[in-house]
Structure 1
Amino acid sequence: MERRRGAELETVLLDAAWDELMEVGYAQLTMESVAARAHTGKQVLYRRWRNRAELVVAAMRHHTGSIVDNVPDTGTLRDDVLGVLQRMADRFTTLGPDTIHGLMAEAPDLDPEVYRRMTGVMRTVVERAAARGEIPTADVPAQVLTAPTNLLRHEIFFTHEPVPSSILTSLVDDVFLPLVSGTPRRSG
Protein backbone atom coordinates (compact mmCIF):
# COMPACT_ATOMS: atom_id res chain seq x y z
CA MET A 1 0.00 0.00 0.00
CA GLU A 2 1.24 3.47 -0.91
CA ARG A 3 2.14 5.67 2.03
CA ARG A 4 -0.22 8.59 2.61
CA ARG A 5 1.24 12.01 3.40
CA GLY A 6 0.33 15.64 3.90
CA ALA A 7 -3.20 16.77 3.13
CA GLU A 8 -4.27 13.30 1.96
CA LEU A 9 -3.21 11.74 5.27
CA GLU A 10 -4.82 14.52 7.28
CA THR A 11 -8.11 14.05 5.43
CA VAL A 12 -8.04 10.32 6.14
CA LEU A 13 -7.34 10.99 9.83
CA LEU A 14 -10.07 13.62 10.16
CA ASP A 15 -12.57 11.42 8.33
CA ALA A 16 -11.70 8.53 10.65
CA ALA A 17 -12.11 10.76 13.71
CA TRP A 18 -15.47 12.04 12.48
CA ASP A 19 -16.74 8.55 11.65
CA GLU A 20 -15.60 7.25 15.04
CA LEU A 21 -17.24 10.19 16.81
CA MET A 22 -20.54 9.64 14.99
CA GLU A 23 -20.44 5.89 15.63
CA VAL A 24 -19.32 5.62 19.26
CA GLY A 25 -19.68 9.15 20.66
CA TYR A 26 -17.19 11.39 22.38
CA ALA A 27 -16.89 9.45 25.64
CA GLN A 28 -15.85 6.25 23.83
CA LEU A 29 -13.63 7.86 21.20
CA THR A 30 -9.92 7.27 21.76
CA MET A 31 -6.83 8.15 19.82
CA GLU A 32 -6.23 4.40 19.47
CA SER A 33 -9.68 3.76 17.97
CA VAL A 34 -9.27 6.60 15.47
CA ALA A 35 -5.80 5.36 14.49
CA ALA A 36 -7.14 1.84 13.98
CA ARG A 37 -9.98 3.16 11.82
CA ALA A 38 -7.46 5.16 9.75
CA HIS A 39 -5.12 2.13 9.50
CA THR A 40 -2.22 3.96 11.09
CA GLY A 41 -0.50 4.29 14.44
CA LYS A 42 -1.67 6.62 17.19
CA GLN A 43 1.69 8.43 17.08
CA VAL A 44 0.62 9.77 13.67
CA LEU A 45 -2.34 11.44 15.39
CA TYR A 46 -0.28 12.77 18.29
CA ARG A 47 2.11 14.46 15.85
CA ARG A 48 -0.80 16.62 14.67
CA TRP A 49 -3.10 16.91 17.70
CA ARG A 50 -2.04 16.89 21.33
CA ASN A 51 -5.18 15.16 22.58
CA ARG A 52 -8.65 13.88 21.79
CA ALA A 53 -10.32 17.28 22.24
CA GLU A 54 -8.07 18.93 19.64
CA LEU A 55 -8.61 16.04 17.23
CA VAL A 56 -12.39 16.25 17.58
CA VAL A 57 -12.40 20.03 17.08
CA ALA A 58 -10.29 19.59 13.93
CA ALA A 59 -12.61 16.83 12.65
CA MET A 60 -15.64 19.00 13.41
CA ARG A 61 -14.20 21.93 11.43
CA HIS A 62 -13.26 19.59 8.61
CA HIS A 63 -16.79 18.20 8.34
CA THR A 64 -18.99 21.15 9.27
CA GLY A 65 -16.80 23.99 8.06
CA SER A 66 -15.18 26.78 9.99
CA ILE A 67 -17.19 29.91 10.60
CA VAL A 68 -13.92 31.86 10.44
CA ASP A 69 -13.70 30.95 6.76
CA ASN A 70 -17.33 31.87 6.08
CA VAL A 71 -18.42 34.76 8.32
CA PRO A 72 -22.05 35.69 7.55
CA ASP A 73 -22.39 38.86 5.48
CA THR A 74 -26.11 39.41 4.96
CA GLY A 75 -26.00 43.19 4.87
CA THR A 76 -27.40 43.71 8.37
CA LEU A 77 -25.80 43.37 11.77
CA ARG A 78 -28.83 41.60 13.21
CA ASP A 79 -28.92 38.93 10.51
CA ASP A 80 -25.14 38.48 10.57
CA VAL A 81 -25.15 37.81 14.33
CA LEU A 82 -28.18 35.54 13.99
CA GLY A 83 -26.25 33.68 11.28
CA VAL A 84 -23.26 33.19 13.59
CA LEU A 85 -25.48 31.95 16.41
CA GLN A 86 -27.46 29.68 14.09
CA ARG A 87 -24.24 28.04 12.86
CA MET A 88 -23.23 27.43 16.48
CA ALA A 89 -26.67 26.01 17.30
CA ASP A 90 -26.64 23.82 14.20
CA ARG A 91 -23.23 22.46 15.16
CA PHE A 92 -24.64 21.58 18.59
CA THR A 93 -27.48 19.70 16.92
CA THR A 94 -25.08 17.86 14.58
CA LEU A 95 -22.64 16.90 17.32
CA GLY A 96 -25.16 16.27 20.05
CA PRO A 97 -25.03 17.19 23.72
CA ASP A 98 -22.67 14.39 24.76
CA THR A 99 -19.94 15.58 22.39
CA ILE A 100 -20.45 19.23 23.30
CA HIS A 101 -20.38 18.47 27.02
CA GLY A 102 -17.35 16.21 26.56
CA LEU A 103 -15.48 18.97 24.75
CA MET A 104 -16.44 21.49 27.41
CA ALA A 105 -15.23 19.15 30.14
CA GLU A 106 -11.89 18.92 28.35
CA ALA A 107 -11.76 22.65 27.53
CA PRO A 108 -8.49 23.11 29.46
CA ASP A 109 -6.88 20.65 27.00
CA LEU A 110 -7.72 22.89 24.04
CA ASP A 111 -5.50 25.61 22.64
CA PRO A 112 -6.90 29.00 23.80
CA GLU A 113 -7.05 29.96 20.10
CA VAL A 114 -10.24 27.90 19.90
CA TYR A 115 -12.01 30.50 22.04
CA ARG A 116 -10.43 33.55 20.39
CA ARG A 117 -11.85 32.54 17.02
CA MET A 118 -15.34 33.77 17.89
CA THR A 119 -13.96 37.12 19.01
CA GLY A 120 -12.45 37.53 15.54
CA VAL A 121 -15.68 36.46 13.85
CA MET A 122 -17.75 38.90 15.89
CA ARG A 123 -15.17 41.67 15.34
CA THR A 124 -15.56 41.18 11.57
CA VAL A 125 -19.37 41.34 11.85
CA VAL A 126 -19.25 44.51 13.96
CA GLU A 127 -16.69 46.22 11.73
CA ARG A 128 -18.86 45.59 8.68
CA ALA A 129 -21.91 46.98 10.52
CA ALA A 130 -20.02 50.10 11.56
CA ALA A 131 -18.80 50.62 7.97
CA ARG A 132 -22.44 50.40 6.80
CA GLY A 133 -23.43 52.97 9.44
CA GLU A 134 -25.65 50.58 11.41
CA ILE A 135 -23.82 51.22 14.67
CA PRO A 136 -21.86 54.24 15.83
CA THR A 137 -18.49 52.47 16.19
CA ALA A 138 -16.72 49.15 15.81
CA ASP A 139 -14.71 49.96 18.92
CA VAL A 140 -16.58 47.50 21.12
CA PRO A 141 -15.09 45.76 24.18
CA ALA A 142 -14.31 42.06 23.71
CA GLN A 143 -16.85 41.17 26.41
CA VAL A 144 -19.60 42.85 24.38
CA LEU A 145 -18.41 41.23 21.13
CA THR A 146 -18.57 37.76 22.59
CA ALA A 147 -21.67 38.24 24.75
CA PRO A 148 -24.05 36.49 22.32
CA THR A 149 -21.72 33.57 21.58
CA ASN A 150 -20.81 33.11 25.24
CA LEU A 151 -24.46 33.26 26.28
CA LEU A 152 -25.29 30.69 23.62
CA ARG A 153 -22.50 28.45 24.94
CA HIS A 154 -24.09 28.84 28.37
CA GLU A 155 -27.47 27.73 26.98
CA ILE A 156 -25.84 24.76 25.27
CA PHE A 157 -23.88 23.77 28.36
CA PHE A 158 -26.90 23.69 30.64
CA THR A 159 -29.31 21.98 28.27
CA HIS A 160 -29.41 18.73 26.41
CA GLU A 161 -31.84 20.06 23.83
CA PRO A 162 -31.36 22.03 20.62
CA VAL A 163 -31.49 25.76 21.29
CA PRO A 164 -34.74 27.23 19.93
CA SER A 165 -34.61 30.10 17.47
CA SER A 166 -36.47 32.28 19.99
CA ILE A 167 -33.41 32.12 22.28
CA LEU A 168 -31.11 33.09 19.41
CA THR A 169 -33.36 36.01 18.52
CA SER A 170 -33.49 37.17 22.14
CA LEU A 171 -29.70 37.02 22.47
CA VAL A 172 -29.41 39.30 19.46
CA ASP A 173 -32.38 41.64 19.93
CA ASP A 174 -32.51 41.91 23.71
CA VAL A 175 -28.84 41.63 24.61
CA PHE A 176 -26.39 42.29 21.80
CA LEU A 177 -28.00 44.99 19.67
CA PRO A 178 -28.75 47.26 22.65
CA LEU A 179 -25.14 46.88 23.80
CA VAL A 180 -23.62 47.89 20.47
CA SER A 181 -26.17 50.47 19.36
CA GLY A 182 -27.15 52.06 22.65
CA THR A 183 -30.81 51.64 21.67
CA PRO A 184 -32.94 49.11 23.55
CA ARG A 185 -34.71 46.73 21.21
CA ARG A 186 -37.27 44.13 22.18
CA SER A 187 -37.88 41.00 20.16
CA GLY A 188 -41.31 39.58 19.51
Structure 2
Amino acid sequence: MPSEQPPAAGEPSPRRGKAREDAILAAAVELIGEVGYDRISMDAIAARAKASKMTIYRKWPGKAELVAEALRRRAEGETLHIADTGTLRGDLIAAVEGIARALTGERGPSLLGLLGAVREDPALRDLVRTQIDGTSNAVATAIAHRATTRGEPLTAANPSMVLGLAVAQLVLSTLLNGTPPDTEARHRLVDEVVLPLLTFAAP
Protein backbone atom coordinates (compact mmCIF):
# COMPACT_ATOMS: atom_id res chain seq x y z
CA MET A 1 0.00 0.00 0.00
CA PRO A 2 1.74 3.23 -1.10
CA SER A 3 2.35 6.10 1.26
CA GLU A 4 -0.29 8.82 1.21
CA GLN A 5 0.55 12.05 -0.58
CA PRO A 6 0.21 15.49 1.04
CA PRO A 7 -2.82 17.64 0.28
CA ALA A 8 -2.65 20.96 -1.49
CA ALA A 9 -1.16 23.80 0.48
CA GLY A 10 -3.39 26.35 2.12
CA GLU A 11 -4.71 24.67 5.25
CA PRO A 12 -4.24 26.63 8.46
CA SER A 13 -1.33 25.27 10.46
CA PRO A 14 -1.02 25.70 14.25
CA ARG A 15 2.40 26.38 15.71
CA ARG A 16 4.51 23.29 15.89
CA GLY A 17 6.35 22.32 19.04
CA LYS A 18 7.68 19.29 20.79
CA ALA A 19 4.41 18.66 22.60
CA ARG A 20 2.48 18.70 19.32
CA GLU A 21 4.99 16.39 17.63
CA ASP A 22 4.81 13.96 20.56
CA ALA A 23 1.00 14.04 20.39
CA ILE A 24 1.04 13.21 16.68
CA LEU A 25 3.43 10.28 17.16
CA ALA A 26 1.41 9.01 20.13
CA ALA A 27 -1.78 9.22 18.06
CA ALA A 28 -0.19 7.15 15.30
CA VAL A 29 0.91 4.49 17.79
CA GLU A 30 -2.53 4.33 19.39
CA LEU A 31 -4.30 3.97 16.06
CA ILE A 32 -1.95 1.25 14.85
CA GLY A 33 -2.80 -0.69 17.99
CA GLU A 34 -6.53 -0.14 17.50
CA VAL A 35 -7.09 -0.62 13.77
CA GLY A 36 -3.75 -1.63 12.22
CA TYR A 37 -1.43 0.18 9.84
CA ASP A 38 -3.45 -0.34 6.66
CA ARG A 39 -6.61 1.20 8.08
CA ILE A 40 -5.18 4.35 9.60
CA SER A 41 -5.08 7.57 7.61
CA MET A 42 -3.43 10.93 8.04
CA ASP A 43 -6.92 12.35 8.66
CA ALA A 44 -7.44 9.95 11.56
CA ILE A 45 -4.02 10.71 13.03
CA ALA A 46 -4.64 14.46 12.74
CA ALA A 47 -8.03 14.14 14.41
CA ARG A 48 -6.68 12.00 17.25
CA ALA A 49 -3.76 14.39 17.85
CA LYS A 50 -5.97 17.49 17.44
CA ALA A 51 -3.55 18.77 14.80
CA SER A 52 -4.01 19.90 11.22
CA LYS A 53 -2.80 17.71 8.39
CA MET A 54 -0.59 20.54 7.19
CA THR A 55 1.21 20.46 10.55
CA ILE A 56 1.82 16.76 10.08
CA TYR A 57 2.96 17.02 6.45
CA ARG A 58 5.45 19.72 7.32
CA LYS A 59 7.31 17.15 9.42
CA TRP A 60 6.50 13.85 7.66
CA PRO A 61 5.84 13.54 3.91
CA GLY A 62 3.53 10.56 4.33
CA LYS A 63 2.06 7.90 6.60
CA ALA A 64 5.00 5.55 6.19
CA GLU A 65 7.50 8.17 7.35
CA LEU A 66 5.34 9.12 10.33
CA VAL A 67 4.80 5.52 11.44
CA ALA A 68 8.47 4.64 11.00
CA GLU A 69 9.44 7.58 13.20
CA ALA A 70 6.86 6.59 15.81
CA LEU A 71 8.25 3.04 15.90
CA ARG A 72 11.81 4.30 16.22
CA ARG A 73 10.90 6.65 19.07
CA ARG A 74 9.06 3.87 20.89
CA ALA A 75 12.00 1.51 20.53
CA GLU A 76 14.88 3.93 21.16
CA GLY A 77 13.48 7.09 22.73
CA GLU A 78 14.22 10.47 21.20
CA THR A 79 17.91 9.60 20.97
CA LEU A 80 19.58 6.23 20.62
CA HIS A 81 20.95 5.06 23.98
CA ILE A 82 23.76 2.51 23.81
CA ALA A 83 24.34 0.97 27.22
CA ASP A 84 27.90 1.01 28.57
CA THR A 85 28.13 -1.88 31.04
CA GLY A 86 31.92 -1.88 31.30
CA THR A 87 32.46 -5.16 29.42
CA LEU A 88 32.05 -6.33 25.83
CA ARG A 89 29.80 -9.20 26.89
CA GLY A 90 27.62 -6.93 29.00
CA ASP A 91 27.27 -4.40 26.18
CA LEU A 92 26.28 -7.16 23.75
CA ILE A 93 23.68 -8.57 26.13
CA ALA A 94 22.21 -5.08 26.58
CA ALA A 95 22.09 -4.64 22.80
CA VAL A 96 20.34 -7.98 22.27
CA GLU A 97 17.81 -7.14 25.00
CA GLY A 98 17.08 -3.85 23.24
CA ILE A 99 16.54 -5.60 19.92
CA ALA A 100 14.13 -8.05 21.54
CA ARG A 101 12.12 -5.17 23.06
CA ALA A 102 11.86 -3.43 19.70
CA LEU A 103 10.66 -6.61 17.99
CA THR A 104 7.89 -7.32 20.47
CA GLY A 105 6.68 -3.76 20.96
CA GLU A 106 7.21 -3.54 24.70
CA ARG A 107 6.67 0.22 24.47
CA GLY A 108 4.21 0.24 21.59
CA PRO A 109 3.31 -1.63 18.38
CA SER A 110 5.72 -4.41 17.52
CA LEU A 111 7.82 -4.42 14.40
CA LEU A 112 6.77 -8.02 13.78
CA GLY A 113 3.14 -6.94 14.08
CA LEU A 114 3.69 -4.70 11.07
CA LEU A 115 5.26 -7.35 8.83
CA GLY A 116 2.28 -7.32 6.50
CA ALA A 117 2.44 -3.56 6.12
CA VAL A 118 6.21 -3.66 5.65
CA ARG A 119 5.77 -6.22 2.87
CA GLU A 120 3.03 -4.27 1.09
CA ASP A 121 4.24 -0.68 1.51
CA PRO A 122 7.60 -0.07 -0.21
CA ALA A 123 8.09 3.28 1.52
CA LEU A 124 7.58 1.79 4.98
CA ARG A 125 9.79 -1.19 4.10
CA ASP A 126 12.66 1.05 2.99
CA LEU A 127 12.36 3.22 6.09
CA VAL A 128 12.26 0.28 8.49
CA ARG A 129 15.23 -1.38 6.78
CA THR A 130 17.20 1.87 6.92
CA GLN A 131 16.38 2.28 10.61
CA ILE A 132 17.42 -1.27 11.47
CA ASP A 133 20.63 -1.03 9.48
CA GLY A 134 21.49 2.38 10.90
CA THR A 135 20.79 1.38 14.48
CA SER A 136 22.73 -1.89 14.19
CA ASN A 137 25.70 -0.08 12.71
CA ALA A 138 25.67 2.63 15.39
CA VAL A 139 25.37 0.13 18.24
CA ALA A 140 28.03 -2.22 16.85
CA THR A 141 30.44 0.63 16.18
CA ALA A 142 30.04 2.03 19.70
CA ILE A 143 30.40 -1.38 21.35
CA ALA A 144 33.49 -2.22 19.29
CA HIS A 145 35.10 1.14 20.06
CA ARG A 146 34.52 0.73 23.80
CA ALA A 147 35.91 -2.81 23.77
CA THR A 148 39.04 -1.66 21.93
CA THR A 149 39.48 1.26 24.32
CA ARG A 150 39.20 -1.09 27.31
CA GLY A 151 41.79 -3.41 25.77
CA GLU A 152 39.38 -6.30 25.24
CA PRO A 153 40.28 -8.55 22.28
CA LEU A 154 38.23 -7.76 19.19
CA THR A 155 39.22 -9.36 15.89
CA ALA A 156 36.09 -9.06 13.71
CA ALA A 157 36.62 -6.85 10.67
CA ASN A 158 32.91 -5.99 10.48
CA PRO A 159 31.19 -5.83 13.90
CA SER A 160 28.03 -4.43 12.29
CA MET A 161 27.62 -7.59 10.23
CA VAL A 162 28.04 -9.74 13.33
CA LEU A 163 25.36 -7.81 15.21
CA GLY A 164 23.18 -8.03 12.10
CA LEU A 165 23.32 -11.82 12.44
CA ALA A 166 21.98 -11.48 15.98
CA VAL A 167 19.14 -9.28 14.73
CA ALA A 168 18.28 -11.83 12.03
CA GLN A 169 18.29 -14.69 14.54
CA LEU A 170 16.05 -12.79 16.95
CA VAL A 171 13.61 -11.87 14.18
CA LEU A 172 13.40 -15.43 12.86
CA SER A 173 13.05 -16.99 16.31
CA THR A 174 10.36 -14.51 17.35
CA LEU A 175 8.47 -14.96 14.08
CA LEU A 176 8.49 -18.75 14.23
CA ASN A 177 7.75 -19.09 17.96
CA GLY A 178 5.43 -16.14 18.48
CA THR A 179 7.57 -14.76 21.30
CA PRO A 180 11.21 -13.68 21.50
CA PRO A 181 13.85 -16.04 22.91
CA ASP A 182 13.89 -16.03 26.71
CA THR A 183 16.71 -14.56 28.76
CA GLU A 184 18.73 -17.78 28.78
CA ALA A 185 18.46 -18.13 25.02
CA ARG A 186 19.42 -14.50 24.46
CA HIS A 187 22.50 -14.96 26.64
CA ARG A 188 23.42 -18.11 24.71
CA LEU A 189 23.13 -16.15 21.49
CA VAL A 190 25.69 -13.70 22.83
CA ASP A 191 28.00 -16.28 24.43
CA GLU A 192 27.92 -18.92 21.70
CA VAL A 193 27.53 -16.86 18.53
CA VAL A 194 28.09 -13.11 18.75
CA LEU A 195 30.97 -12.95 21.21
CA PRO A 196 32.99 -15.75 19.57
CA LEU A 197 32.56 -14.16 16.13
CA LEU A 198 33.79 -10.81 17.45
CA THR A 199 36.78 -12.22 19.31
CA PHE A 200 37.78 -15.25 17.25
CA ALA A 201 41.53 -15.62 17.00
CA ALA A 202 42.51 -17.03 13.61
CA PRO A 203 45.20 -19.76 13.71
TM-score interval, smaller chain = 0.7 to 0.9
1:164–1:111 distance in 2 versus 1, CA, 3 Å: closer
For residue 166 of structure 1, what is the amino acid of its counterpart?
A: E
For residue 167 of structure 1, what is the amino acid of its counterpart?
A: A
Quote the RMSD (CA, aligned, Å): 3.0
Of 30-39 and 88-97, more deviation after overlay is shown by 88-97
Matched, 1:172 2:190: yes
1:67–1:127 distance in 2 versus 1, CA, 3 Å: farther
Partner of 2:85: 74
Per the TM alignment, residue 78 of structure 1 is displaced from its structure 2 partner at its CA by 1.4
Alignment of 1:56-75 (within 5 A): 56-66=67-77, 69-75=80-86
Per the TM alignment, residue 120 of structure 1 is displaced from its structure 2 partner at its CA by 1.1
In structure 1, list runs of 5 or more residues that go unmatched.
Answer: 184-188
Partner of 1:130: 148
1:4–1:18 distance in 2 versus 1, CA, 3 Å: farther
2: CA distance, partners of 1:79 / 1:67: 23
Partner of 2:171: 153
1:120-151 per-residue CA deviation (whole Å, 9 max, x = no partner) reads 11110111112112224574354224222233
Per the TM alignment, residue 156 of structure 1 is displaced from its structure 2 partner at its CA by 3.5
Partner of 2:19: 8
Identical-residue share of aligned pairs (%): 32
| Contact 2:75-2:101 at 8 Å conserved across structures | no
Partner of 1:186: none
Of 96-105 and 116-125, more deviation after overlay is shown by 96-105
Per the TM alignment, residue 97 of structure 1 is displaced from its structure 2 partner at its CA by 6.3
TM-score (norm 2): 0.73
1:29-64 per-residue CA deviation (whole Å, 9 max, x = no partner) reads 332211121223334323322333322232233344
In structure 2, list runs of 5 or more residues that go unmatched.
Answer: 1-12
TM-score (norm 1): 0.78
Per the TM alignment, residue 157 of structure 1 is displaced from its structure 2 partner at its CA by 4.1
Q: Which runs of 4+ in 1 moved over 4 A?
A: none
For residue 113 of structure 2, what is the amino acid of its counterpart?
A: T
Partner of 1:44: 55
1: CA distance, partners of 2:81 / 2:172: 23
2: CA distance, partners of 1:52 / 1:82: 33
1:48-89 per-residue CA deviation (whole Å, 9 max, x = no partner) reads 223333222322333443496310111111121111111121
Matched, 1:85 2:67: no
1:142–1:64 distance in 2 versus 1, CA, 3 Å: closer
